[in-house]
Amino acid sequence: MASQNASASDSSSSQERKIVVYTSNGCQKCVLLKGWLKTANRSFEERSLEDMDTMTELVMRDIVVLSAPVLEVDSSVYGETEFFEGNSLSVSRLQEILGGNGNGGQC
């Protein structure tokens, strides 16, 4: 529901994009991603992959999540392998995702 509202009212998408970080407990990569976003002054919503409603929403959108974190920018969803290299955050890839046109892959 939230993504529909954001899409309808997101006329300034080039400046402020809707960012959702899907996380799980004990996920070190999730901590790294959230820390980087905070340092970069990017506002984001965090949703737990351990929450049944969150997982149901993803399944209904035909999004399969195999591992955390998952990053959603506007309506594009990126799996952790798209912005991590091993256990290290790929800042250049993340900047491309956040600054790009939102045409990303599925996780």
Whether residue 105 has pLDDT greater than 50: no
- Residue 105 included in any domain: no
Please report, to the nearest 10 degrees, the dihedral formed by the alpha carbons of residues 68, 42, 101, 1 taken in order: 70
Is the entire prediction scored with pTM above 0.85?
no
Closest CA to 101 of 2, 41, 13, 12: 13
Distance separating alpha carbons of residues 71 and 98, to the nearest angstrom: 10
pLDDT in tens, 64-101: 999 999 999 998 999 999 999 999 999 999 999 998 54
Give me the pLDDT at residue 5, please.
37
CATH of the domain at 23: 3.40.30.10
Q: What is the pLDDT of residues 8-36, one digit of tens each?
A: 343 343 457 899 999 999 999 999 999 99
Measured in residues, the chain has a length of 107
What pLDDT, on the 0 to 100 scale, is given for residue 104? Answer: 44
**78, 41 contact by CB (below 8 A):** no
53 lies in some domain: yes
